[in-house]
């Protein structure tokens, strides 16, 4: 047993829910993403999520004794690989983490070595919960989230159930791309997807408040139910949004005739992000004589392959690869000269970078997956290309390059939409819904 696995199995450290005063209630979050335990009081957490937790603390600090997050334990290898994108959180922040089982464990080992202990851990954690913040178990073989939900329902705990992605087209998309064999497709279509749909069907009937990150999910699974809401999971704050003066300077700049259209992608360089499609689209447009530039900001396993694609296409003067930068001023500086961002996911995705982009006055050119289709309707700041067609993407880029007034309108729309949907606004809205629909929350908050 390595050190991290030992940490994952250690439930005796100070602050474990078993030691919380019985009259105090905790806000329990079940998280599918993994966290790395550095020591008894410090954890490494995905940076954007750590910012979300800090905001959440301030919105509920009068209602609960603490936030307790129960989640898988990140491996040493994953920690070393992702260290630059992680932030440290200490117990003194008001959040503690229980890393309940190793993230990279096989299904067989999960059930034979961890499931029984995990169930005891869940029961122990939920015993002192005033509310359970959970969601859909997308991993059917290691159904940690489903175990939390069933335990919470059996204990009569109020549950806030959140689904942040409309997964329903993913099976078809992965088959269409050739990523999955016919066997994989049928297994997912006939087994995995129905298991996920069942969880979504049960949630509005068994949970106090259900938040779905898609108007279509609300329509299909929660129609006529007041406690089922569409939501946006944003992490930006008002101070991250382009000022009025900066917006005017941006609008003047992008309206200048004869200037190249500058695009940006920022985020992880992993296969499903489809960044190769963005490079392909730039190559198509450069071959037509259009001066289009693309900055790719990020790191990941696809970086070398993308660099080769740029070199093989002779696009070194058009496409620039930049390393990851910290969120905040370093990122904002890297985006300052860009006119729009680009999003080319090959499966359903809900990147928080979409709102970071809008906050900096960058409208989005994206494939027409469910998330971006919804954002286009709500914001007026997204241009949609047909998934997963690089030619269609090139067409949308060319159209915006030629119609700078449309681009300017989308830029203004992007900033206005970001301003109306900051994280504090959405946390306040979520708290209001929680007070309206979650059993005992109002009494707990007094």
pLDDT in tens, 416-431: 999 999 999 998 999 8
- Is 218 a residue whose pLDDT tops 50? yes
Return the percentage of the chain with pLDDT > 70, whole number. 93
Banded pLDDT at 61 (limits 50, 70, 90): low
What pLDDT, on a 0 to 100 scale, did the predictor assign at position 18? Answer: 37
- Is 68 a residue whose pLDDT tops 80? yes
pLDDT tens digits for 78-106? 999 888 889 999 999 999 999 999 999 99
Nearest CA-CA partner of 358 in 297, 296, 415, 425: 415
- The answer to whether the CB of 93 falls within 8 A of the CB of 49 is no
- Is 73 a residue whose pLDDT tops 60? yes
Return the percentage of the chain with pLDDT > 90, whole number. 81
| Angle, in degrees to the nearest 10, between helices 370-379 and 215-222 | 110
Angle made by CA atoms 169, 171, 174, in degrees to the nearest 5: 105
Domains and their CATH numbers in the chain? 3-235+423-445 (3.40.50.2000), 239-419 (3.40.50.2000)
- The answer to whether the CB of 236 falls within 8 A of the CB of 351 is no
What pLDDT, on a 0 to 100 scale, did the predictor assign at position 24? Answer: 59
> What value does the mean pLDDT take over residues 224-250?
94
> What value does the mean pLDDT take over residues 58-75?
87
Banded pLDDT at 16 (limits 50, 70, 90): very low
User: How far apart are alpha carbons 255 and 275 in whole angstroms?
Assistant: 27
What pLDDT, on a 0 to 100 scale, did the predictor assign at position 446? Answer: 31
Name residue, tokens 């809900």.
350
What pLDDT, on a 0 to 100 scale, did the predictor assign at position 59? Answer: 79
Answer whether 0.75 is exceeded by the pTM.
yes
Query: In 3-state terms, what secondary structure has residue 365?
Result: strand
Distances in Å between the Cα of 13 and the Cα atoms of 16, 76, 185, 289 are: 6, 20, 44, 64
Query: In 3-state terms, what secondary structure has residue 321?
Result: strand
Specify the range with the lowest mean pLDDT, choosing from 60-69, 110-119, 146-155, 339-348.
60-69
Strands 129-135 and 159-163: parallel
> What value does the mean pLDDT take over residues 228-238?
92
User: How far apart are alpha carbons 136 and 403 in whole angstroms?
Assistant: 42
Return phi, psi of residue 135, to 5°: -170, -165
User: How far apart are alpha carbons 110 and 125 in whole angstroms?
Assistant: 19
Nearest CA-CA partner of 295 in 328, 340, 356, 346: 340
Helices (H) and strands (E) in the chain, counts: 20, 16
Burial class (CB in 10 A: 0-12, 13-18, 19+), 177: middle
- The answer to whether the CB of 234 falls within 8 A of the CB of 423 is yes
Specify the range with the lowest mean pLDDT, choosing from 60-64, 236-240, 266-270.
60-64
Distance between the two ends of the chain, CA-based, in angstroms?
Answer: 45
Distances in Å between the Cα of 5 and the Cα atoms of 31, 73, 214 are: 18, 7, 36
The mean pLDDT value of the chain amounts to 91
Contacts 24+ apart (CB under 8 A), 174-178: 174/347, 177/346, 177/388
């Amino acid at each position: 047993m390595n050190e991290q696995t030992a940490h994952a199995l250690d439930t005796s450290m100070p602050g474990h829910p078993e030691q919380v005063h019985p009259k105090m209630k905790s806000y329990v979050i079940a998280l599918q993403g993994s966290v790395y335990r550095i020591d008894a009081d410090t954890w490494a957490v995905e940076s954007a999520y750590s910012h979300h937790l800090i905001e959440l603390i301030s919105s509920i600090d009068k209602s609960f004794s603490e936030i307790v997050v129960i989640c898988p334990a990140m491996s040493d290898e994953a920690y070393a690989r992702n260290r630059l994108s992680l932030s440290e959180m200490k117990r003194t922040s008001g959040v503690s983490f229980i890393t309940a089982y190793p993230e990279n464990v096989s299904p067989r080992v999960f059930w034979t070595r961890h499931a029984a202990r995990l169930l005891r851990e869940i029961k122990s954690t939920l015993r002192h919960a005033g509310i359970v913040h959970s969601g859909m178990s997308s991993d059917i073989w290691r159904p940690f989230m489903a175990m939390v939900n069933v335990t919470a329902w059996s204990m009569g705990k109020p549950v806030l159930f959140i689904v942040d992605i409309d997964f329903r087209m993913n099976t078809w998309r992965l088959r269409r791309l050739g990523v999955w064999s016919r066997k994989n497709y049928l297994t997912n279509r006939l087994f995995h997807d129905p298991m996920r749909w069942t969880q979504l069907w049960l949630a509005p009937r068994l949970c106090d408040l259900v938040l779905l990150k898609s108007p279509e999910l609300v329509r299909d699974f929660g129609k006529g139910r007041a406690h089922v809401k569409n939501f946006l999971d944003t992490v930006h704050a008002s101070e991250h949004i382009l000022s009025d003066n900066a917006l005017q300077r941006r609008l003047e700049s992008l309206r200048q005739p004869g200037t190249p259209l500058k695009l940006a992608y920022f985020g992880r360089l992993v296969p499903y992000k489809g960044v190769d499609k963005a490079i392909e689209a730039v190559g198509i447009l450069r071959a037509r004589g259009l001066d289009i530039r693309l900055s790719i900001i990020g790191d990941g396993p696809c970086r070398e392959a993308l660099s080769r694609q740029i070199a093989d296409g002779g696009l070194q003067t058009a496409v620039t690869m930049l390393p990851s930068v910290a969120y905040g001023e370093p990122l904002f500086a890297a985006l300052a000269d860009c006119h729009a961002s680009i999003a080319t996911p090959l499966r359903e995705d809900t990147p928080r970078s979409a709102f970071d982009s809008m906050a900096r006055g960058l409208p989005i050119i994206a494939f027409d997956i469910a998330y971006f289709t919804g954002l286009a309707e709500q914001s007026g700041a997204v241009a949609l290309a047909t998934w997963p067609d690089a030619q269609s993407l090139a067409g949308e880029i060319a159209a915006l390059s030629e119609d700078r007034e449309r681009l300017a309108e989308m830029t203004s729309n992007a900033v206005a939409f970001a301003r109306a949907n900051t994280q504090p606004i959405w946390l306040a809205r979520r708290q209001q819904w929680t007070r309206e629909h979650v059993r005992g929350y109002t009494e707990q908050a007094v």
